[in-house]
Amino acid sequence: MSMRDVKVCLLGESGVGKSSIVMRFVADKFKNALESTIGASFMTKTIFVEGNTYKFQIWDTAGQEKYRALAPMYYRGSAAAIIVYDVTRETSFHAVKGWVHELQRHGPSKIVIAIAGNKCDLEDLREVREKDAQEYAHEIGAIFCETSAMTAVNIAELFDAIAKLLPPEDLLGTSNQMGGGSTVNLRNNAAKKKSKCCSGSDTEAASQQPVRRSLSTPRGSSSVTYPS
C-alpha cells in the first residue's frame, strides 16, 4: 500500500464543464448552469486503484481569458493535466490544441495529458466528431475519453486512467527500478488496462449511444482510450 499525492489541473475554454467534471468526481453532484470559476479552485479526492491510494489534488482553473495568464502556475507542478473541450462547440476543441502546445513547450516533461470531450450526452448538438478528437489524442500520446459530468459518464474512469498512467518511478515506497523510460511503462500499463476499462465503462453510456457507436470507432466509443 502506498499513498501518492497527485496534482492534477484542468484546463480548457470557459464553459466546457471543467468545474462540473471536478464536482462530479469529488462530490458526485451535478448542478445545471454552474457559475464560472473565478481564478482557480482547489479540491482533493482520494481513490484506490490496484491497491494503491491516490490522493488527487485538483486545480480547477478558470477558463476565462483574463485568467489565462495564471495557467502556468497550476500546470507547472502538476503530474497530470486534463484538457477539457465541449463536444458541442468546435472552437473549444481547437483551444485544446493550443493547450497541448503550451504544455509541451512549458509544462513539466513527464506530465500526463488527458483530453476529455465533455457534454457527450448532448448528442444532437455535437460539433466535434469523437474520431477526430481520438485521433488527435493518439497522435500526441494523450489519454482520451468523452465524458458527461451530467450523466456521470467516464468521469471516474478518467481519473482512474490518469492514476494508472502516472510514471511509476515516482511511486512513494514502491519505486520501480525499471522506470527508466516512461514510454515503455505507459505502453505496458495501457495494454493491461484497456480491457478492464471497456467493460467497466457504464451501461448508461452504452444505452445512450448505440447509433453513434456503429458510425464511429468500432471499439466502445464511450470508453477511455490510452495513448499507445
Partner 1 sequence: MATEIREAEQNASVSDSDSGQSDFIETNEIPGKSSNTLLVANDSFEDLSYAELNNTIVASPMGTINSLVKKKAKRSLSLPEREHVEDTVSESEVDDSEVETSEICDDSQVDMIEARVTELSLQETTSQTADAQIPHLMTNTDTDYVNSPEWKRQKKHIFILSESGKPIYSRHGNEDKLVTIMGVMQALVSFVADSNKDTLRSIVAGDHKFVFMTRDHLTFVGVTRGKESTQQMFLQLTYMYNQVISILTHSTLTRIFKQHRNYDLRRPLSGAEKFFDNLLNLMDVEPGLLLTSVRCLPLDSNVRDIVSQTIAQHAKVKDLVFALIIAQNQLVAVVRMKKYYLHPMDLHLILNLINASESFKAAESWTPICLPKFDAAGFLQAHVSYLDEECQTCLLLLSVDIEAFYTLSECKAKIQERLIKYNALAAINNSLKRNSYSIQQCSISDLRHFLYKSRSTAQYTSPELEAPYNTKEEKERLFGLYYYLHDRIHTSGRTLKILFHVGAYETLLGWVTTGFELYAVFGPLVTKMSAIHAVNKLLRWIKKEEDRLFILSSVTF
Interaction of residue 37 with partner 1, rule CB under 8 A:
yes
Pairing of strands 52-61, 3-12: parallel
Residue partners of 187: CB distance under 8 A and separation at least 6: 228
Residue partners of 53: CB distance under 8 A and separation at least 6: 1, 2, 3, 4, 46, 47
The residue from 14, 151, 189, 217 that contacts partner 1 (CB under 8 A) is: 14
The residue from 8, 60, 147, 201 that contacts partner 1 (CB under 8 A) is: 60
Distance in Å, CB of 185 to partner 1, minimum: 29
Which range in 47-55, 62-70, 180-188, 209-217 contacts partner 1 by CB under 8 A?
62-70
Sign of the CA dihedral with 77 first, then 107, 138, and 119 last: positive
Are 128 and 48 in contact, with CB atoms under 8 Å apart?
no
The residue from 5, 47, 49, 64 that contacts partner 1 (CB under 8 A) is: 64
Which range in 33-41, 130-138, 165-173, 202-210 contacts partner 1 by CB under 8 A?
33-41
Interaction of residue 53 with partner 1, rule CB under 8 A:
no
Which CB sits closer to partner 1, 13 or 160? 13
Interaction of residue 78 with partner 1, rule CB under 8 A:
no
The residue from 40, 133, 161, 186 that contacts partner 1 (CB under 8 A) is: 40
CA separation for the pair 198, 51 (Å, rounded): 20
Distance in Å, CB of 156 to partner 1, minimum: 18
Residue 34, helix vs strand vs coil: coil
Distance in Å, CB of 181 to partner 1, minimum: 29
- Report the first-to-last Cα separation within the chain, whole angstroms: 28
Distance in Å, CB of 13 to partner 1, minimum: 11
Distance in Å, CB of 207 to partner 1, minimum: 30
* Cell numbers for 3: 499513498
Q: Look at phi and psi of residue 33 and say left if phi exceeds 0, alpha if psi is from -120 to 50, else beta.
A: left
CA separation for the pair 90, 88 (Å, rounded): 6
Interface with partner 1 (CB under 8 A): 14, 19, 22-23, 34-43, 60, 62, 64-70, 72-73
